[in-house]
Structure 1
Amino acid sequence: MKAQHKRFEVGDISIIPINDGTLITPTPPQVRGEDLPDFEVHKSYIPGDGLFYSDLGAFLVRSGDQLVLLDAGLGPAVGHDGTYCGASQPEELLREYDQQWRNFGRDEEFVRMRRANLPRTIVKHGNLERNLRAVGVTPEEITDVVLSHLHCDHMGWCTKDGASFFPNADIWVHAHDVDHFLGDRELNEIGMKVQFGVEGTKHRMKAALGQLKLWESDTNVAPGIDLRHMPGHTPGSSIAVISSAGQRAMMLGDVIHCPLELTDDQFSMMADINPALAHETKLRLLRELEDSDIHVASTHFPGMRFGRLLSSEVPNKRKFIFS
């Protein structure tokens, strides 16, 4: 396997990262090990300036007659110029945001920390359509959209201006996420609204509901593209496995947000709906990846680049190298 410019090759299959934007947050307090020799690889997104940088976007894969988009970014920039800060929300909404963290069992110190971090939490997005067209692809040509889960920063371009953005595509979503996010009960997504500035998932997916293709058991989407259910981050969280000519790569969704989650057993982004199950799922994935020839990436990885996981002499830690 080799990376060539932004395109990544897995056997005969090309994977093209399509950037939608960037999420900038204060460095999570649980980040450890900055002084370890192996931490150098993480400085592309934890540079030591007090901020943590996460890409937003999707992966484009052509397989036979199908043109598949893995995840769908945060979506069009609505009501602002593509740059958003949650601290700009009305105080009444911010108080609801505080209360949601309390409802999740967080103490007052955590609630104060999250509120204090909002002025330095910046989202820049809305670039996916332009970047998709830049590689010669129109939304109408996409045959399949695979959503690793239904958080707002992975399904955002399924609709635009109240209409389906990929009108000819099947939209693959695990049934457990459809039940959780799009079912009859009212889901409180105030945290996503404050952090990302977008409406709830149910509202944003409405125009594309007729295109949903639900799956439960691990399934095949196109030649060389398989989906695996890996719950914990959300009930239906999944990864995509690309296989061709004896080579494999995995798109990890939010099962793994960043390389640090691969290299440090104790690091977590604190965004998992079921933290215990998410941790168990991650450990199972790490055992499969460590010292294998499988290349991995996530839409949140810096530059959406691929890399490999290697063993380390440090207990409970591993090395990550970009491809």
Structure 2
Amino acid sequence: MADGAEMSTWRVEVEQWFDEAKAVGPVRPSKRGGPSLTRRAFLLAGSMCVCCQPGLASADAPMVKRQAPGFYRLTLGDFEVTSLSDGTNMLPARKLLQGNPTRLEEMLKRNYLGDLVETSHNSFLVNTGAKLILVDAGAGSLLGPGTGHLLDNLRASGYQPEQVDEIYLTHLHADHIGGLMAEGQRAFPNAIMRVDKREVEFWLSDANMRAAPEEAKRFFQAATISITPYQRAGKLIVFEGNTALVAGVRAQTAYGHTPGHTMYMVESGGEKLLLWGDVVHVAAIQFEDPTVTIRYDVNPSEAEHVHELAFAQAAGNGYMIGGAHISFPGLGHVRRDGATTYTYVPLNYSFG
């Protein structure tokens, strides 16, 4: 920091320079090509301009309190895959997760998670060059203001709902189908919808809805509201089990979470991405302990088997996975850490 004598010298130089400028008009170049001003005086003059105008240096800026548009794009062989965020909501972990309570509590604490865990809702848009395919459609208006942002993020990513050719649903829970409808109309008017036959028969059954516990009836109601308009328009196509749907995309059974829960393998140019749907709900817990299921698994033992098989295959084969409820964008790999434990490795971020 300059002492008092040096500061006084700088101030005198600056004052002299301003006096000269007033007397002779615009500053003329020196023989060296620059203004006749010492470097110290020039720097001081600049700092004085800022310091003497506090409004310029400390302008109040309101907090924005929102994130950037929720889409993330990657290339998979000759395909383009875009992860689309429908938003997030809070899950009560202690009620949702089914496992040893003491161990669950320890894992939550170790991963800096409390009882309420914020979960992502991700959908995936696959552009094969011939088809534009949406895998899952978000919650729409069914889960409150934290979700329902799929259409906005689809448009922000450069696409329009009318461009979607096909919709593949992993299952018919509300957070995957609510976005199929918008203001009482089909949100994707030109798309056909593909779903496993077992899934459709279970959730669109009036008999099953009547027999369901009261808290589960809303799942059946959501399926009816979201799927029936496509069915009536002749847009619903069911498939059975492991099935090739279009070139480069194949359905793979993952029954357990729901009766017809399905994963979708996307493959191009030797690269693979398996879109998991609801194989994982709380990544910090279930990768470490695949035996942990959730309250809404229709068949918990089958769901547990799917966890173990999906984790082992992803780790063993090294292909990428996409999770509906893994933190956005929900893309990464699985690493085996022990005989029965795994770690999720998020995809390394790429700007473009």
TM-score interval, normalised by the smaller of the two chains: 0.7 to 0.9
Q: Is the counterpart of residue 149 in structure 1 residue 174 in structure 2? A: no
Paired letter, 1:143: D
Equivalence map 1:241-280=2 (5 Å): 241-259=265-283, 260-280=285-305
Distance 1:266 1:176, change over 3 A: same
5+ residue gaps, structure 2, are: 1-70, 348-352
Give, as a single letter, the amino acid of the residue that structure 2 aligns with 1:230: A
> How far 1:183 moved relative to its partner?
2.7
Cα pair 2:123 2:137 within 8 Å, conserved? yes
Q: 2:236 aligns with which of 198, 212, 234?
A: 212
State the shift of 1:145 in Å: 0.4
Matches of 1:17 and 1:192 in 2, distance apart?
29
**Aligned pair count?**
267
Q: In structure 2, what is the equivalent of residue 18 of structure 1?
A: 84
Question: How far apart in 1 are the matches of 2:171 and 2:230?
Answer: 15
Residue in 1 aligned with 2:128? 63
Secondary structure in 1 matching 2:259? coil
Question: 1:186 Cα shift?
Answer: 4.6
* RMSD of aligned residue pairs (Cα, Å): 2.7
How far 1:199 moved relative to its partner?
4.9
Aligned to 1:54: 119
SS at match of 1:287: helix
**Structure 1: which 5+ residue stretches go unaligned?**
84-123
Of residues 112, 123, 126 in structure 1, which corresponds to 2:148? 126
Q: What's the secondary structure of 1:166's corresponding residue?
A: coil
In the TM superposition, residue 252 of structure 1 has moved relative to its aligned partner by 0.4
2:288 touches 2:342 (CA, 8 Å); kept in 1? yes
Contact 1:233/1:274 (8 A) holds in 2: yes
> Partners of 2:126 and 2:266 in 1: how far apart?
9
Please say if residues 335 and 343 of structure 2, whose CA atoms lie closer than 8 Å, have aligned partners that are also in contact: yes
Task: Please identify the structure whose Cα radius of gyration is greater.
Answer: 2
3-state SS of 1:59 partner: strand
Structure 1 residue 33: Cα displacement: 6.7
- Cα distance in 2 for residues equivalent to 1:21 and 1:193: 24
Asked whether the 8 Å contact 1:293–1:308 carries over to 2, the reply is yes
- After superposition, the Cα gap between the structure-2 partners of 1:189 and 1:163, relative to the gap in structure 1 and judged at 3 Å, is farther
Distance 2:125 2:165 in 1: 11
Partner of 1:160: 182
Equivalent residue, structure 2, for 1:104: none
Please identify runs of 4+ aligned residues in structure 1 that moved more than 3 A: 29-36, 188-194
Once the 2 structures are TM-superposed, how far is the Cα of residue 271 of structure 1 from its aligned partner? 1.7
Conserved? CA contact 2:336–2:342, under 8 Å: yes
> Paired residue for 2:198?
176
Q: Percent identity?
A: 27
Flag the structure with more relative contact order, 1 or 2, with Cα contacts below 8 A and sequence separation at least 6.
Answer: 1
- Measured against aligned partners, the alpha-carbon deviations of 1:136-185 in whole angstroms (never above 9, x if no partner) come to 21111100000000111111122222221111111010000110011342
Q: 1:189 to 1:181 in 2, by over 3 A?
A: farther
Counterpart residue number, 1:108: none
Equivalent residues of 2:334, 2:345 under 8 A apart: yes
Distance 1:15 1:303 in 2: 14
Q: Is the 8 A contact 1:238 1:255 kept in 2?
A: no
Q: Which residue of structure 2 lines up, in the alignment, with residue 135 of structure 1? A: 157
Please say if residues 140 and 150 of structure 2, whose CA atoms lie closer than 8 Å, have aligned partners that are also in contact.
yes
**SS state of the match for residue 84, structure 2?**
strand
